Amino acid sequence: MFKDMIKDIVTSYGPAGRETTVSKTIRKYIEPLVDEVYYDALGNLIAHKKGTSGKKIMLSAHMDQIGFIVTDIDENGFLRVATVGGVNPHMVLSQGVVFENGVKGLVYMETKDLSYASLDISKLFIDIGAASKEEAEKLVEIGDMAVYRPDFVDMGKRISCAAMDDRIGCAVMIEAFKKANTEHDVYLVFTVQEEVGCRGAGVAAYAIEPDFNINFDVTSFGDTPNATFVNISLGKGAAIKVMDSSVIVPKAAREFLESCANEIGAKFQREILRAGGTDTSAVQKSRCGVMASCISIPCRYVHSQVEMVDMDDVNACVDITACALSRKELPGF
């Protein structure tokens, strides 16, 4: 079932730069569906199915998640950390985390000059239940990375877990490819290190030289109490990107996706983000430029431990993508 695959992928360990575990989970689902699966030098996982049209479509979603890297272990066994990607200290406080080797930790703050307002990562530490430096060093080393401890919550139509950003995009890609009937060469690229600056997607696009790219990522939300204004709501359909702070999607590419949505009667909303970017920008600027677009999955509480999506939106993203893959004509100027 689709939801079981989502749960499996979203709960796999994989902060930026340490994507091996999650890539193995993803590989299990995609390998039976394609002609070849390989890694490039950065660790991007690339699945390729040959086509007959002579055109190449690249689907991409980042498989890395935000996290923490151990910088210091003190005399009493507490870990100090730096952030890997956009971690908000207020969202991390008193959350559970887990390391690649399964060691669990709890995040708390210095209490002497207790000030929530000025809280930053330097005031936080991770308690792994060790009573001394020696004990801690048996469990964790400097340079190890932790992520939010995954807690997959199934509310029926809506589901929540850390790392929905962007494992839900990875799952949408796989599910859409399963449903699609396409004559094009398709490359499904599960990219690395998006959370630290879209580092993986660009090199993958350079190697593949796609005629068309659809990137998948989560987007922000504006439909919760007193939220900052973002014209995106959960349950109102796939979010087809118009613009974010890193990219303006060519009108032809956006209209192509919207025509697919209209053809199959899938709900969609237009996404315009004042802040934040995605791999789409890195793909767009590869080589002499790539016709790149983006389907975003509306997601509440992005970069928290409780990122939430609506399955109706997720399924709309799947169906629009399957339709796009089946089209003979791809967008161009």
Of residues 152 through 171, those in contact with Co ion by CB under 5 A are: 165
Q: Does 19 help bind Co ion (rule: CB under 5 A)? A: no
* Residue 310 binds which of Zn ion, Co ion, none (CB < 5-8 A, kind-dependent): none
- 333 within 8 A of 286, measured Cβ to Cβ: no
**C-alpha span between 199 and 216 (Å, rounded):** 16
166 binds Zn ion (CB under 5 A): yes
Residue placing its CB nearer to Co ion in the complex, 241 or 327: 241
Residue 319 site contact among Co ion, Zn ion, none (CB < 5 to 8 Å, cut-off depends on kind) = none
We find the least distance from the C-beta atom of residue 40 to Co ion, in angstroms, to be: 21
Q: At residue 191, what are phi and psi to the nearest 5 degrees?
A: -85, 160
Tell whether residue 165 is a contact of Zn ion (CB under 5 A).
Answer: yes
Q: Coil, strand or helix: which one is 159?
A: strand
Minimum separation from the CB atom of position 191 to Co ion (A): 12
Residue 19 interacts with which of Zn ion, Co ion, none, CB < 5 to 8 Å by class: none
Q: Which does 313 bind (CB under 5 to 8 A by kind): Zn ion, Co ion, none?
A: none
Q: Is 194 a catalytic residue?
A: yes
Q: Is 217 in the site for Zn ion (CB under 5 A)?
A: yes
Q: Which are the contacts of 194, defined by CB distance < 8 A and separation ≥ 6? A: 16, 62, 64, 166, 200, 201, 217, 278, 279
Residue 191: helix, strand or coil by DSSP? strand
244 interacts with Zn ion by CB under 5 A: no
Q: Which of 75, 100, 183, 194 is catalytic?
A: 194
Closest distance between Zn ion and the C-beta of residue 163, in Å? 9
Nearer to Co ion, 109 or 147 (CB): 147
- Residue 175 makes contact with Co ion by CB under 5 A: no
Please choose, from the candidates 327, 298, 300, the residue with its C-alpha nearest in 3D space to the C-alpha of residue 315: 298
**From residue 39 to residue 58, what is the string marking binding to Co ion with x (rule CB under 5 A)?**
--------------------
Query: At CB < 8 A and 24+ separation, what contacts does 51-55 make?
Result: 51/182, 51/183, 51/184, 51/185, 51/186, 52/183, 53/183, 53/184, 53/185, 53/328, 54/185, 55/184, 55/185, 55/211, 55/212, 55/330
Which residues does the annotation mark as catalytic?
194
